[in-house]
Amino acid sequence: MGMTRRALCLVLACSSLGLTSKLGAQPQPKAPPKLPPKLPTVPLSIAVAELDGAGVVSDEWLQRQVSEAQRLLEPHGVFVAQARRRRLPARQAKLETAVDRDGLAEHVQQQVINVFIVKSLRDVDDPRLMRQGVRWRLRRNLRKDYIIVAASAMPTTLCHELGHYFGNGHSSVVNNIMSYRRDDPAKVAFNDRQGIKMRRTTRALLSRGRVVPIDKLAKPKGRKPPSP
Ligand SMILES: [Zn+2]
């Protein structure tokens, strides 16, 4: 009885995995790993602070942040791309306090993820420390929800903050993108559980209209439509 049931369970397990085959049949070629369904690309509006007439980071620096985020998010079916590029005034280049961070809310645009690149970002809990990035929400209006990255950040900082934006907390697993502990940059990644959470959050943001797919994004106000 026990043996029969165990054998039956094994058969069921095999058939549910699609592993049963007729005796003598040729082995099927291995299917490629199934990727999660592709979600629409989420637009980033990136504002770079200017200091002494120049941006606090180079185009290459910014491109690296975006491409690292794309590389690490795409295996989980989450897609982001830069949709807009703006400037921040010099008075907002060095963020020292929570009030300074709140001040960026005046630049927040609708239907995009807002990213602000600054020269420096002081920790607001321990002012002896500087931060590389933060996901920040205005207490009095939680819809003012944005990412701040400092010029001193490592290339995966934007991706880490997007990980927060898409619903993940910190991880203690070495080389997880949501962990502070890294010993091999080539191994830094999200895990599948985090990927599921990010897809769920992205779908919710899209369905509530908090973000719109990049190809449906309206031009910012004040720009003339192209002449026919
Ligand atoms: Zn974090």
Assigned domain for 120 exists: yes
pLDDT of the residue at 176: 98
Over residues 138-152, the mean pLDDT reads: 94
Q: Please report, for the domain that includes residue 204, its CATH number.
A: 3.40.390.10
Assigned domain for 133 exists: yes
pLDDT of 25-43, one tens digit each?
Answer: 566 666 666 667 789 999 9
Assigned domain for 36 exists: no
Q: How far is the CA of 205 from the centre of ligand 1 (A)?
A: 20
Assigned domain for 94 exists: yes
Residue 4, amino acid: T
Q: How far is the CA of 160 from the centre of ligand 1 (A)?
A: 6
pLDDT at 51 over 90: yes
CA separation for the pair 113, 43 (Å, rounded): 6
Over residues 46-52, the mean pLDDT reads: 97
Dihedral class, residue 36 (left if φ above 0, else alpha if ψ from -120 to 50, else beta) = beta
Assigned domain for 143 exists: yes
pLDDT at 220 over 50: yes
Assigned domain for 145 exists: yes
Q: Which of 133, 155, 154 is nearest to 63 (CA)?
A: 155
pLDDT of the residue at 14: 37
Q: How far is the CA of 134 from the centre of ligand 1 (A)?
A: 7
pLDDT of 105-138, one tens digit each?
Answer: 999 999 999 999 999 999 999 999 999 999 999 9
Q: How far is the CA of 162 from the centre of ligand 1 (A)?
A: 9
Number of compact structural domains in the chain: 1
> Domain range spanning residue 203?
42-211
Q: How far is the CA of 130 from the centre of ligand 1 (A)?
A: 13
Residue 153 near residue 117 (C-beta atoms within 8 A): no
Assigned domain for 29 exists: no
Q: How far is the CA of 149 from the centre of ligand 1 (A)?
A: 11
Q: How far is the CA of 98 from the centre of ligand 1 (A)?
A: 16
pLDDT class for 92, splitting at 50, 70, 90?
A: very high
Q: How far is the CA of 129 from the centre of ligand 1 (A)?
A: 15
Assigned domain for 12 exists: no
